[in-house]
Amino acid sequence: KCRTGPLDIVFVIDSSRSVRPFEFETMRRFMIDIIGNLDVGPNATRVGVIQYSSQVQNIFSLKTFFTREDMEKAINSIIPLAQGTMTGLAIQYAMNVAFTTQEGARPLHKKIPRIAIIVTDGRPQDRVTDVSTQARNAGIEIYAVGIQRADMNSLRAMASPPLEEHVFLVESFELIQQFGKQFQDKLCGVDMCVEQEHGCQHSCISIPGSFYCECNPGYRLNMDGKTCSPIDACADGRHGCQHQCVSVRGSYSCRCRAGYYLSQNKRSCTMIDYCSFGNHSCQHECVSIPNGHYCRCRSGFTLQPDGKSCRATDLCNGVDHGCEFKCVSTDGSYHCVCPEGQQLQADGKACSKCGARHVDLVMVIDGSKSVRPQNFELVKQFVNRIVDLLEVSPHGTRVGLVQYSSRVRTEFPLNKYHSADEIKKAVMDVEYMEKGTMTGLALKHMVEHSFSELEGARPLSHNIPRIGLVFTDGRSQDDISEWAKRAKESGIVMFAVGVGKAVEEELRAIASEPVEQHFSYSVDFTTMTHLVENFSLNICPEESKGETEIRSPCECEALVQFQTNTVAILQSLTERNILWACSLAQMTARLEDLEKQIANRK
């Protein structure tokens, strides 16, 4: 057996029409005899076979078979192509396909020799010199075996140097089997690892005419090419261990810190769930931490000194209070409250809203630099408290918002949002403009644009009240009188809200009549919450205010009331003028007759 170590061998066999059938049989035997003396296997010598004529055919690749029996069976089943002699094409195929790692060749860095054995009987019909040079430069060692009619110059052009060791010419196909034994000796040579002192620390690998050293798994070959050093698999940082990497003979294992265990992927670490042991005795919640656990109470409860039990501190969080707006805890009890401008209903939970009438409301807020950013946030909260009072919907109350400083900007028109939540979110997203205070310009914008049907105001024929609320903290830098007057003349009910240095004269000029009901003022931004209630009283009248009770004229109570009212009127008329007496008598008779008719119908 050939003991020189693993090889990657590909037979390149000429099956052109010049090779007679019985001659091709001797080529089969040549390949089978050589394979029979090789130590074949996935980690030993690998063998592939291709045949060529005018085209190239892969019989089996280096990765196909790893036993002599399978290889011999495949070789015996070859059907010759019997066409031309394109030897250069076959060498090109061997270089580009047969000796690739995809087809089973070992990577070049493993130093496993790549050997091509070309067997041909004639002159190539294509060029072989350049492609053979490319193949040799790619690391392929070429043996050129010519039989009978083969061209010696072509064989020498294909073979690797030294030519005397790689070029062979056999006089006839009958002699090729005898040549196979000589070629076997040439291919295998001597085992250099046995014949000389190799000096390898771990393993010596013999190759034709030489040898090289290899290290055991977990070690790397040193620069001297003979000694080996342990590989620190953790050093390159690619181990992926979450906590700690431990090097073990060229490999590694991951380890977790105390309080954690290694996950199934053998890299990440999971904290030990001490709460899952079931012995924590926490009344509410158990929280695991590395090396232990602690107890935690739900919101509204306080952890007691024993570190386990909990006691309620906020009854609103401990019971289903049902408050529509907000629950307020007191000592041992709780009660519900409503937003400013809304009243708590008889059930002690629900809140009333402004539902007596629907309006188109545009709020015009001062965004000048005198307001300052922190106060502007309070203004936005003020706006949202007003929104809380309203029943916002496309067919109910609509709300628009305008901000002004040296210029005017519509933050959102009346037809933009259709729910209170949408409006409140949009208000909180408004950005502070700063700069000057052009209140007159803002009023002009409100009249000409904000209350237009294009921006969502409903037609005047619908009798939907239009309300404008102007919020400012200082004197206007332009004239307000003209557009304040036009706003009111166009049917807009104007409210003026002033804070801090707002000018009362300007506020009164903006406000509708009666001014005292449409004008409000607060000393500073932090104390202006009461203004919401003042505003709500004027735009949200009581549900029953101004309504007339309609009753059936046929009800007994209606008849009695009708008679009482009529008698009272008659008495008044009698006292005024005695001359009406006759007419009154006639009217009384008619009324009595009417009462009888109604009674008969019932």
Give the separation between CA 563 and CA 584, rounded to whole angstroms.
14
Per-residue pLDDT, averaged over 436-465, amounts to 93
The pLDDT value recorded for residue 580 is 47
Strands 203-207, 398-404: parallel, antiparallel or unpaired by DSSP? unpaired
| H or E element at residue 492 | strand 492-499
CA 149 to chain centre: 72
What's the distance, Cα to Cα, between the start and end of the chain in Å?
131
- The answer to whether 405 and 473 are in contact (CB under 8 A) is no
Strands 251-255, 244-248: parallel, antiparallel or unpaired by DSSP? antiparallel
Backbone φ, ψ for residue 48 (5° rounding): -130, 155
Average pLDDT of every residue of the chain:
83
Half-sphere exposure of 450 (CA within 13 A, CB side): 31
Per-residue pLDDT, averaged over 52-63, amounts to 96
* Omega prior to 514 cis, within 30 of 0: yes
Q: What is the pLDDT of residues 272-309, one digit of tens each?
A: 888 888 788 899 999 988 888 899 988 778 888 898 98
The pTM of this model reads: 0.38
Handedness of CA 573, 579, 580, 585 (dihedral sign): positive
Amino acid at position 126, single letter: D
Using CA atoms, how far residue 228 sits from 108, 222, 418, 571, in Å, is 21, 5, 78, 132
Q: Which domains does the chain have, with CATH numbers?
A: 7-187 (3.40.50.410), 360-539 (3.40.50.410)
Top-confidence range, 87-101, 256-270, 572-586: 87-101
Is a pLDDT exceeding 90 seen at residue 227? yes
Top-confidence range, 122-126, 167-171, 235-239: 122-126
As given in the structure block, the two tokens for residue 155 are 């064989």
Neighbours of 350 (CB within 10 A): 17
| H or E element at residue 50 | strand 46-52
Of 389 and 545, the one with more pLDDT: 389
Using CA atoms, how far residue 233 sits from 107, 174, 240, 256, 390, in Å, is 22, 58, 11, 17, 70
- The answer to whether 41 and 62 are in contact (CB under 8 A) is no
- The answer to whether 90 and 118 are in contact (CB under 8 A) is yes
Is a pLDDT exceeding 60 seen at residue 327? yes
User: What SS3 state is found at 455?
Assistant: helix
Of 340 and 578, the one with more pLDDT: 340
Backbone φ, ψ for residue 482 (5° rounding): -65, -50
Per-residue pLDDT, averaged over 227-241, amounts to 83
Of 11-25, 84-98, 137-151, 297-311, the range with the lowest mean pLDDT is 297-311
Helix spans in 481-547 (H): 481-489, 504-510, 515-518, 530-539
Q: What is the pLDDT of residues 329-353, one digit of tens each?
A: 776 578 888 776 566 777 788 776 6
Q: What is the pLDDT of residues 464-516, one digit of tens each?
A: 899 999 999 889 999 999 999 999 999 999 999 998 888 899 999 999 998 88
Half-sphere exposure of 596 (CA within 13 A, CB side): 6
The pLDDT value recorded for residue 302 is 83
Is a pLDDT exceeding 60 seen at residue 356? no
Using CA atoms, how far residue 265 sits from 218, 241, 268, in Å, is 22, 10, 7
Amino acid at position 120, single letter: T
517-556 burial by CB neighbour count: b if 16+ within 10 A, else e? ebbbebeebeebeebbebbbeebbeeeeeeeeeeeeeeee
Per-residue pLDDT, averaged over 191-212, amounts to 80
Backbone φ, ψ for residue 89 (5° rounding): -60, -40
User: What SS3 state is found at 520?
Assistant: strand
Beta bridge partners of 527: none
Query: Which residue has tokens 């080996």?
Result: 228
Using CA atoms, how far residue 289 sits from 214, 271, 274, 280, 292, in Å, is 49, 8, 8, 13, 5
The pLDDT value recorded for residue 110 is 86
Of 422 and 2, the one with more pLDDT: 422
The pLDDT value recorded for residue 555 is 47
What pLDDT band is residue 30 in, cutting at 50, 70 and 90?
confident
Query: Which residue has tokens 């008619």?
Result: 590
The pLDDT value recorded for residue 551 is 40
Give the separation between CA 468 and CA 364, rounded to whole angstroms.
7
As given in the structure block, the two tokens for residue 135 are 């193949």
Give the separation between CA 596 and CA 599, rounded to whole angstroms.
5
User: What SS3 state is found at 506?
Assistant: helix
Is a pLDDT exceeding 90 seen at residue 38? no
As given in the structure block, the two tokens for residue 221 are 């070959």
What pLDDT band is residue 37 in, cutting at 50, 70 and 90?
confident
* Omega prior to 21 cis, within 30 of 0: no
Residue in 12, 246, 14 with CA at minimum distance from that of residue 118: 12
User: What SS3 state is found at 130?
Assistant: helix
Q: What is the pLDDT of residues 514-570, one digit of tens each?
A: 888 898 888 887 777 667 766 766 666 443 333 333 344 444 554 555 555 555 555
The pLDDT value recorded for residue 341 is 55
Give the separation between CA 172 and CA 348, rounded to whole angstroms.
117
The pLDDT value recorded for residue 528 is 72
Per-residue pLDDT, averaged over 353-366, amounts to 80
Half-sphere exposure of 576 (CA within 13 A, CB side): 8
As given in the structure block, the two tokens for residue 203 are 């393993």
As given in the structure block, the two tokens for residue 333 are 């009890």
